[in-house]
Structure 1
Amino acid sequence: MNTKALAVLLALATGAGFGAPVLANDQAITFDYDGTFEDAAFAVEDAIISKGLVIDYRSHTGEMLERTREDVGSDVVLFDAADVFLFCSATVSRQVMEADPMNIVHCPYSIFVADQAGKVTIGFRDYPDGPMQAVEDLLTEIVEEAVSF
């Protein structure tokens, strides 16, 4: 059993305690954040920078979805706030792309922070097994630092 599957099983068995990762629809690995959206976003930004990485872009996805909600004919408020941080790691990117140059499809990497009715979540996409596990490990380290901030 790989470490990701083991972590998910452990989180489920222990009631998904504070900071334990949970898979969301097998597409994202998410962590609950005990604090405000603003604090979570600051913690994620700080954790990325503390790894020596540069944030290429901060997408204000929640604002865009709310701003365009009526324009697309929806009355559903998806998030109270949601941002996505895009960045890359030269070291990890080189490692995974030397294993398979087509891993470029996964770059840049992203971590999201979302607030839904006061529940703040930090997460990232679930990457394929194999070389991309190095990216998932990096993102896990960043998010674990952020949730413990």
Structure 2
Amino acid sequence: MRITFLLPFVLAGLVVTAHADDNPVIPAVTHQVDGSFEDIAFAVENAIVNKGLVIEQRSHVGEMLNRTKEDVGGQKDLYTHGDVYTFCSATVSREVMEADILNIQHCPYSIFLFETPDQPGKITVGRRGYDPSMQPAADMLDDIIADALMLD
């Protein structure tokens, strides 16, 4: 009786484990440029808007981590500045979610940028890494970053 009761939970665990193993970690795509954090943040913001996209949020992750450092036992400041822009594209979302319905997990899309205390004036701008079914989103984000950083 006890085994019959546990069997559905064991099988559910196997299904979850199988999905977790199917999703390897893909490294972020980053670029490092010299400049003022606010100037580069402004360029990223403009590049997003110039693609006809609406920024949902600008998260000030660096400020939050600095503000809460002592509360959570942090030992050092990680970022001088660190922000994440989130936004969506209905066209790109439709395409990637038709390719794989689980791509909903990647929406909204994001571009991050940060400066660290040990490298003042060196700003890292990037996006998360994606599997091939997310290539249209990766291309969109790469285009935005290239426009912002004038990489073309």
Question: Is the structural similarity TM-score above 0.5?
Answer: yes
Superimposed CA distance per residue, residues 85-133 of structure 1 (whole angstroms, 9 cap, x where no aligned partner): 000111000011111221101100000010113121100100112x201
Return 94-103 or 65-74, whichever deviates more.
94-103
In structure 2, what residue type is equivalent to 1:57? Q
Tell me, which stretches of 5 or more residues in structure 2 are unaligned?
1-24
1:120 to 119, 123, 144: 123
In structure 2, what residue type is equivalent to 1:123? G
CA RMSD, 1 decimal:
1.4
- How many corresponding residue pairs? 124
Identity of aligned residues (%): 55
1:148 to 126, 147, 150: 150
Do residues 62 (structure 1) and 65 (structure 2) align?
A: no
In structure 2, what is the Cα distance between the partners aligned to 1:34 and 1:76?
23
In structure 1, what residue type is equivalent to 2:49? I
Partner of 2:37: 37
Q: TM-score, normalised by structure 1?
A: 0.79
Give 3-state SS (helix, strand or coil) of 2:86's partner. strand
Higher share in helix: 2
Deviation, 1:26, is 4.6
Superimposed CA distance per residue, residues 123-149 of structure 1 (whole angstroms, 9 cap, x where no aligned partner): 0100112x2011000000000111118
Partner of 1:133: 135
Tell me, yes or no, if the aligned pair for 2:26 and 2:130 is still in contact at 8 Å.
no
In structure 2, what is the Cα distance between the partners aligned to 1:68 and 1:26?
29
Return 44-53 or 94-103, whichever deviates more.
94-103
Which aligned runs of 4 or more in structure 1 are off by greater than 4 angstroms?
none
In structure 2, what residue type is equivalent to 1:106? H
Deviation, 1:27, is 2.0
Tell me, yes or no, if the aligned pair for 2:111 and 2:126 is still in contact at 8 Å.
yes
Tell me, yes or no, if the aligned pair for 1:34 and 1:147 is still in contact at 8 Å.
no
In structure 2, what is the Cα distance between the partners aligned to 1:56 and 1:30?
22
